[in-house]
Amino acid sequence: MLPIKLVALPIVLMLAVGCDSKKDTSPKKDAASKAASEQAETDKRIAARKEKRLAEEKAKKDEEAAVVAKVEALCVLPEALPKNLEKGCEAVSAAHDGFMLRNFADNAATIEKWNAGKTMQLGMTSAQCTKAGSIEVAACQANALSKAPVELKKQLPAFLRTCIDKFGTPAAGDTPAAPKPK
């Protein structure tokens, strides 16, 4: 009989070699690891896109707020008010024409189109001014349109509306009803 030590030694060696402590490189673990890393990369890309989108939205809101602030700053009363509503509305029409000619001077097609239809447009501007019925509204609109920089050339309706909101009187149907007593 062989001594137990001689028989046990090869068995221990075979077990030691069979139980390698290196990573298991089975296909299942490789696929899971690859899928996890791909998911992590996808999550990073999604987070980056979300962050970029949020930054763009914030920039757009900030830009819109800046435009509104510029419009508000221009929609003020001048030092001298017109003598009557008719003169004020004439000034608004003249300022509207000047606004269009000044701000669209670089676009010949737009100026040509404006000149062709400005009689009707200026008539509507004058009618809207008269309908507002306020010398202050007319003065505000003329002031804003005459001082508006080129960067605000698309804000014509905002100038007109802001002056009406600031200095116009609400229509009879626009006043809120008084609360009923309890």
Count CA atoms within 13 Å of residue 118 on its CB side: 16
Q: Are 171 and 120 in contact (CB under 8 A)?
A: no
Confidence of residue 20 (pLDDT cuts 50, 70, 90): low
Tens digit of each residue's pLDDT (9 = 90 or more) over 21-48: 555 556 777 778 888 888 888 989 999 9
Answer yes or no: is 47 within a domain.
no
- Report if residue 100 sits inside a domain: yes
Selected residue with higher pLDDT from 30 and 16: 30
In this structure, the number of other CB atoms found within 10 A of the CB of residue 157 comes to 8
Q: Is 25 within a domain?
A: no
Residue 80 lies in a domain: yes
CA distance 165 to 145: 16
- 163 lies in a domain? yes
**Is 178 among the domain residues?**
no
- The pLDDT score that the predictor gives to residue 181 is 47
Q: What whole-number distance in Å separates Cα of residue 115 and Cα of residue 135? A: 27
Is residue 159 domain-resident? Answer: yes
- What residue numbers bound the domain in which 133 lies? 57-168
Copy the structure tokens of residue 77.
């009363």
Summarize pLDDT for 52-67 with one digit per residue, the tens: 999 999 999 999 898 8
pLDDT tier, 121 (very low <50, low <70, confident <90, very high otherwise): very high
For the entire predicted model, the pTM comes to 0.64
Q: DSSP letter for 104, please.
A: T
pLDDT tens-place string over residues 142-175: 999 999 998 998 999 999 999 999 988 765 555 4
pLDDT confidence of residue 10:
62
Angle between helices 135-147 and 27-74 (to 10 degrees): 120
Residue 94 lies in a domain: yes
Q: Domain total for the chain?
A: 1
Q: What sign for the dihedral angle of Cα 97, 100, 106, 108?
A: negative
pLDDT on residue 99:
93
pLDDT digits (tens, 9 = 90+) for 85-104: 999 999 999 999 999 999 88
